[in-house]
């Protein structure tokens, strides 16, 4: 099973074992990491914004034009920002590290 490490505000980390084929957003929810993701993965909100660790960013399939467009609406986007709902977890991504900005978390 692919494991995802979520880096949370304040320096906390949570490692979640995800179902293969699940999205990072789904893995977060399964692991009690409260990423907002208000559109439920329909690429219509950008509230699932995560910042992929630099060592992992180049190993992900590139974002679609739709994802790129939606990332422009993310709060505080960075060069390694992605939509959590658009990253599919495969065995090759086992150990993926993403930072969850405070703006993407439900309170």
Q: Which stretch binds ligand FES (CB under 6 A): 34-42, 54-62, 88-96, 97-105?
A: 34-42
**Of 30 and 43, which CB lies nearer to ligand FES in the complex structure?**
43
CB-CB contact of 82 with 4 (8 Å):
no
* Least distance in angstroms from the C-beta of 35 to ligand FES: 8
Interaction of residue 101 with ligand FES, rule CB under 6 A: no
Nearest to 60 by CA among 32, 33, 19, 88: 88
- According to DSSP, the β-strands at 13-17 and 3-7 are antiparallel
Interaction of residue 44 with ligand FES, rule CB under 6 A: yes
Interaction of residue 24 with ligand FES, rule CB under 6 A: no
Distance from C-alpha of 38 to C-alpha of 40, rounded to nearest angstrom: 5
* Least distance in angstroms from the C-beta of 73 to ligand FES: 9
Phi, psi of 34 (to 5 degrees): -85, 60
Summarize as ranges the residues that interact with ligand FES (CB under 6 A). Answer: 25, 37, 39-48, 70, 83, 85
């Amino acid at each position: 099973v692919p494991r995802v490490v979520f880096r949370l505000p304040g320096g906390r980390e949570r490692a979640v074992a995800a179902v293969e084929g699940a999205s990072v957003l789904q893995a977060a929810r399964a692991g009690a990491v409260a990423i907002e993701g208000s559109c439920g993965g329909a690429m219509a909100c950008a509230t699932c914004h995560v910042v992929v660790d630099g060592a992992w960013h180049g190993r992900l399939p590139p974002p679609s034009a739709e994802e790129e467009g939606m990332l422009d609406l993310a709060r505080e986007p960075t060069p390694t920002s992605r939509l959590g709902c658009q990253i599919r977890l495969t065995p090759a991504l086992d150990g993926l590290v993403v930072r969850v900005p405070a703006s993407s978390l439900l309170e």
